[in-house]
Amino acid sequence: MIAPETGMKPGERYRIDSVERAPQFSGFFLDGKYYLGPELQTAVGWLEGQTFVYDMVDPKGEPIYPDRVAGRIEALTLVMADGLRLAVERVPYEAETVQPAAAPETLAPKRAMASPRLTGKLVVITGASSGIGRATAHAFADEQARLVLAARDGEALAEVVDECAARGAQALAVRTDVTSNEQMQQLAEQAAEFGNGRIDVWINNAGVGAVGDFAQTPLKVHEQVLQTDLLGYLRGAYVVWPYFKAQQQGILINTLSLGSWVAQPYAAAYSASKYGLIGLTEALRGELVGQPNIHVCNIYPAVIDTPGFRDGANYTGHALKPPPPVYDPQRVASAMVNCALKPKPQVTVGSAATIARVAHFLLPGFSQLSGWLTRRGIQRSPAIETSSGNLFTPPSGERRVEGGWRQPTRPSPLLVAGAAMLVGGCLLAINRSRGRHR
């Protein structure tokens, strides 16, 4: 919802006026999000109330604006931190798309009005009831794919089916627990029937998490995480593989994470799952010799704004909050669509994931540093009761795409100290490496 104080209205585009010797904003706002161009699906900024969060980084991977906050929008005026005021103007883009007398090349519609690119393709999405899965369902619905949506929460799935239908797409809800061999097999069979014998894209996305000291977290909890986050993906690949082989075509997309490269202390089973998925996908790719049209794509998101941190199992005895920066789930959904159009072995979403991967490579003691920071962060959080969360049953309450974590806040002293230690450690590792090669 757009804050009325901004002066903006839903469904209309707005651009920031360009002024000499002032920051240049070449994109546009639409429904509270900021895009660089109509053909680019991923928002690089958004409004949080009146705050304009601009998620752009410089060539070194650093945010262009402190805390990624470009300023505040008041009555169609962007007020920047230094007091500079730039006009925000409505763009009457509707008239641009209706020009009967123009040459064909000038009639190229805006992306929002373009022809769908995946019309009729059968796409299966597990974990589609909330978070990344729900956002991905919306993104594929916008491309007019035929959707088969799977999750344990049948009521939430019905809502997503309605949301996809409102976007003009056909969708089928199949209540599925990815820890069940039988239910996964039935999911594949129903999907193929809905797709007239074909399955074009299968997205393994269902996931759970458990945070807590390894020895104090029940063994059955660790096992359930592995059953969902690792074996659930293996089951998905297993049941769709025969269809891909028979078609000699298909795209398997797996939602991995930053945790596939950087182990997450106090989330041992989650880390084991994500590391294991790299081995699984590499092994599957090794079996695809002579099958150039079957692809396995891995998506590596950084920390994403989903309900997962709230719904997951928590055995720490303290409230959990995702560490910044936290990214929009729509960015992952757009990456999924792009992989369905042009498959890539791996796609990273969020510059923080890339930075953490490099730091983990350069700093041998990164896991110990991460563990110390995680422990300190947990201990400073309010005390709460332990809970198994959504591990064994679907979570209660409203199911939604976003978790509401993306709030513009200044970095805590702990985060600043941790970043300084990380940079210092990386420099130390580089110097030691140079010393060994002298």
Please state, in angstroms and rounded to a whole number, the distance separating the CA atoms of residues 69 and 50.
Answer: 11
Q: Does residue 65 contact residue 84 with C-beta atoms inside 8 Å?
A: no
What's the CA gap between 62 and 85, in Å, rounded? 24
SS3 for 300?
Answer: strand
DSSP code per residue over 346-414: EEEESHHHHHHHHHHHH-TTHHHHHHHHHHHHHHTSPB---B-TTSSSPPPS---S--S-----PPPHH
Paired tokens of 194: 């809905």
Q: How many whole angstroms from its chain centre is CA 139?
A: 12
Beta strands, E only, 228-320: 250-255, 294-301, 313-314
Catalytic residue numbers read 270
Phi, psi of 356 (to 5 degrees): -65, -35
Helices and strands (DSSP H and E) totals, the chain: 11, 17
Amino acid, single-letter form, for residue 181: N
- Whether the CB-CB separation of 179 and 231 falls below 8 Å is answered with yes
Nearest-angstrom CA–CA distance, 78 and 70 = 9
| Structure-derived torsion over alpha carbons of residues 396, 402, 403, 409, reported in degrees to the nearest 10 | -170
Instruction: Read off the tokens for 293.
Output: 């049209």
